[in-house]
Copies of this chain bind each other. A is one copy, B any other.
Amino acid sequence: MTNLYLNSCVDMKEAINCARMNQYDSITTPLVFPGFDREFVQKPMVEKHKIFGRSDTVMPWKQWLHYVIAAVSDDIDCDSENAEIRDGSERKLSQEMEFAEHVAQQGLIYVKLKSANNINLSRIISTYTKSIILLEVPMTNPNLVASQWRRDVSEEEGQEAEDTWTWWNNFRLHVDFNVKHRLSLVLSADIPSRDEILRWLGEPVEYLVVPSNIFIRNNANYPVLSVAHQEVLSLFVRRNNVKFMVKANQHDHSLRYYAEYLNHMHEKYKEVDPMNSLEDVIEIPLQPLFDNLDTYTYEVFERDPIKYILYQNAIEAALRDRVPDEEIDVKTVTLMVLGAGRGPLVRSALNAAANTKRKVKIYVVEKNQNSMNTLHALWREMWPRDVVQLIFSDMREFSPPEKADIIVSELLGSFGDNELSPECLDGAQVHLKEDGISIPSSYSSHLEPIMSSKLYNLVRLISKTENQFQRAKSKVMENTYVVYMKNVYHISPEPQCLFTFCHPNREPLINNNRYKNLRFTAKNDSVLHGFAGYFDTVLYKDVTMSIHPMTHTKGLLSWFSMFIPISNPVNLKAGDEIEVNFWRRVGQRKVWYEWSISSPQMSHIHNLNGRSCDILM
């Protein structure tokens, strides 16, 4: 999985053989002859210098594709102040890009970014659309490091020591977040701050480049990396599954050891995550109230190892509160499971009753007639028939023979109320006794600003038409998505609470419309692509569940985060205030969210009137 970067190579085939013998799977090297000064303006020279690189017949194209990443020359400066240098560089670059696409269509092309001033470079690069472009950027600016400890570096030079992330950020803003442009990030001897590393982790890093001079020797004289560098490697492998690239001389005697070491590191840190295949995949949230869930979905939900244990704990605590020990024999608790699905909450309730030795009567309410079959089979074969009674009805409409002491439901979505738990429970609470208990008793949504080119591009791709260049349509940018977020940077220190709902709701006139304005501060220069949404809930008293990153319940798998995009990414400076307006609106037959930002720029109101995305009642 490791690539060998060679500044130049005389014999391409020999270089590939050498790299492969030393455990590298491919090389990165310029295709054109080194130091060959091409001339485009003066006529006789133009003719003479049309031959600028090796023949493409040295290898079959499959080998070009698999073994070679084509690097463009180092001496290109498309953004020079000097129009002649700029013009010559543009021609050189175009010639090399075309040649690279000629030898290996859909291959990889390697381009170095050297400053934040790269408008012309980015313009030319983005006109080549067949290849994946790897953009080399140093993790930290070498000038920056120098200016910190060298007294001979003047202030002026220090000002050039800009954040290298800006080089990359400017490039991709110019080219409108092209999904084919990825990073080749060069590890530096000095490691940047943790937040800067986290920001890089939110970017599409394809390769982590290790220059050979960063290796140190261990006691056995083998090249290894410092513990600090290992830590960085491990983060990038675990979070982004990056590949490695070594920058070394072809005749370096340790070539093989570098590769072996890095291949070993990759194996070691590669995470075995059961959800791995789902990372950064975007899905439309479920609408279980409107659509009936299917077997696969039920199975996924029921597989959660912790959720039903927590529900059982909450029911146990509620049963103990309703019935003191001395009344165990005389009092029966009426319990309703609202939206029982295939019965996991019934099981939790029966377990809780057994553990606490409380007598219960359980009404099991379910509207999905497909899962009613399963419930009936369970009732017939496993459940005590006198304790459990099945009711085939929508929980907002059924009429039970008595009122409940406890209602139990699992209607929460990734954003808390987004599967209409408030509307369902407000409708069902007429069947709850005056002093009855709802499990859950409350839940809150939480919001936080994020940067993720990857998610932004995934959403944009949904609306891709034959016109590849078309920008995102509002419809997909006004939707909410469920995502297992990995390639994401959290822009501000922590999420903030948005909306809270409590049950039962004893307000004289229930109003589930909500509006809130939240303010966040950007920790670092970054790009706002949208917001991550989470929820936490109090099931009963101290029994809680959360997917909020700061309080995430250990082992809880049932919910991914919510991604709420904004139409146009916003470039942020460290310290910028991000002000977001969020609405929950309840209409006649549907509920929806609207959102807008007021700072640092103003956006339009997204999903006005639920025009792009709503939840049907």
Which of the residues B511, B601, B605 comes within 8 Å of A174, measured between beta carbons? B605
B123 x A175 contact (CB < 8 A): no
**Cα distance A458–B471 when bound, in Å?**
19
Residues of chain A in range 170-184 having any CB-CB distance to chain B below 8 Å: 170, 173-176
Q: Which residues on B sit within 8 Å (CB–CB) of A170?
A: 598, 602
Residues of chain A in range 514-568 having any CB-CB distance to chain B below 8 Å: 515, 517, 567-568
B601 x A601 contact (CB < 8 A): yes
Q: Which residues on B sit within 8 Å (CB–CB) of A604?
A: 173-176, 471
Which of the residues B475, B571, B581 comes within 8 Å of A119, measured between beta carbons? B581
* Minimal beta-carbon separation of A595 from chain B (angstroms): 11
Which of the residues B41, B83, B119 comes within 8 Å of A509, measured between beta carbons? B41
Q: How large is the interface on A (under 10, 10 to 19, 20 to 34, 35 or more residues)?
A: 35 or more
Residues of chain A in range 568-617 having any CB-CB distance to chain B below 8 Å: 568, 571, 581, 583, 594, 596, 598, 601-605, 608-609, 611-612
Q: Does A120 contact B (CB under 8 A)?
A: yes
Q: Does A159 contact B (CB under 8 A)?
A: no
Q: Which residues on B sit within 8 Å (CB–CB) of A611?
A: 469
Q: Does A508 contact B (CB under 8 A)?
A: yes
Q: Does A396 contact B (CB under 8 A)?
A: no
Residues of chain A in range 85-126 having any CB-CB distance to chain B below 8 Å: 86-87, 119-120, 122-123, 126
Q: Does A22 contact B (CB under 8 A)?
A: no
B475 x A467 contact (CB < 8 A): yes
* Residues of chain A at the chain B interface (Cβ within 8 Å): 41-43, 83, 86-87, 119-120, 122-123, 126-127, 170, 173-176, 467, 469-471, 473-475, 508-509, 511, 513, 515, 517, 567-568, 571, 581, 583, 594, 596, 598, 601-605, 608-609, 611-612
> Nearest CB to that of A509 among chain B residues?
B41
A511 x B87 contact (CB < 8 A): yes
A608 x B471 contact (CB < 8 A): no
> Nearest CB to that of A517 among chain B residues?
B119
B509 x A123 contact (CB < 8 A): no
- Contact A608 to B509, CB < 8 A, known contacts A86-B515, A474-B471, A602-B174: no
**Cα distance A473–B604 when bound, in Å?**
16
**Cα distance A123–B86 when bound, in Å?**
49
Q: Which residues on B sit within 8 Å (CB–CB) of A567?
A: 471
Q: Which residues on B sit within 8 Å (CB–CB) of A603?
A: 173
* Minimal beta-carbon separation of A456 from chain B (angstroms): 13
**Cα distance A73–B441 when bound, in Å?**
40
> Nearest CB to that of A472 among chain B residues?
B471
A469 x B43 contact (CB < 8 A): no
**Cα distance A513–B124 when bound, in Å?**
13
**Cα distance A581–B601 when bound, in Å?**
22
Q: Which residues on B sit within 8 Å (CB–CB) of A471?
A: 473-474, 567, 604
B127 x A609 contact (CB < 8 A): yes
**Cα distance A298–B255 when bound, in Å?**
74
Q: Which residues on B sit within 8 Å (CB–CB) of A41?
A: 508-509
A174 x B596 contact (CB < 8 A): yes
Q: Identify 12 residue pairs between A and B in the complex whose beta-carbon atoms are under 8 Å apart, listed by A's number.
A: A43-B508, A119-B517, A119-B596, A120-B515, A122-B605, A170-B602, A175-B605, A176-B604, A467-B475, A571-B601, A571-B602, A601-B601
* Minimal beta-carbon separation of A306 from chain B (angstroms): 36
* Minimal beta-carbon separation of A596 from chain B (angstroms): 6
* Minimal beta-carbon separation of A410 from chain B (angstroms): 30
Q: Which residues on B sit within 8 Å (CB–CB) of A126?
A: 605, 608
**Cα distance A470–B608 when bound, in Å?**
11
15 additional A-B pairs beyond A127-B609, A174-B604, beta carbons within 8 Å, are: A41-B509, A43-B509, A83-B515, A86-B515, A87-B513, A119-B596, A120-B515, A123-B608, A127-B608, A175-B608, A469-B608, A470-B473, A470-B475, A473-B473, A568-B568
A594 x B123 contact (CB < 8 A): yes
Which of A87, A174, A467, A568: most chain B CB closer than 10 A? A174
> Nearest CB to that of A598 among chain B residues?
B119
Q: Which residues on B sit within 8 Å (CB–CB) of A508?
A: 41-43
* Minimal beta-carbon separation of A400 from chain B (angstroms): 27
Q: Which residues on B sit within 8 Å (CB–CB) of A609?
A: 127
* Minimal beta-carbon separation of A603 from chain B (angstroms): 8
Q: Which residues on B sit within 8 Å (CB–CB) of A612?
A: 469
> Nearest CB to that of A87 among chain B residues?
B511
> Nearest CB to that of A514 among chain B residues?
B83
* Minimal beta-carbon separation of A589 from chain B (angstroms): 16
Q: Which residues on B sit within 8 Å (CB–CB) of A517?
A: 119
* Minimal beta-carbon separation of A307 from chain B (angstroms): 33
Q: Which residues on B sit within 8 Å (CB–CB) of A174?
A: 596, 602, 604-605
> Nearest CB to that of A603 among chain B residues?
B173
Q: Which residues on B sit within 8 Å (CB–CB) of A594?
A: 123
Q: Which residues on B sit within 8 Å (CB–CB) of A605?
A: 119, 122-123, 126, 174-176
* Minimal beta-carbon separation of A500 from chain B (angstroms): 13
**Cα distance A83–B499 when bound, in Å?**
14
> Nearest CB to that of A469 among chain B residues?
B611
Which of A83, A173, A603: most chain B CB closer than 10 A? A173
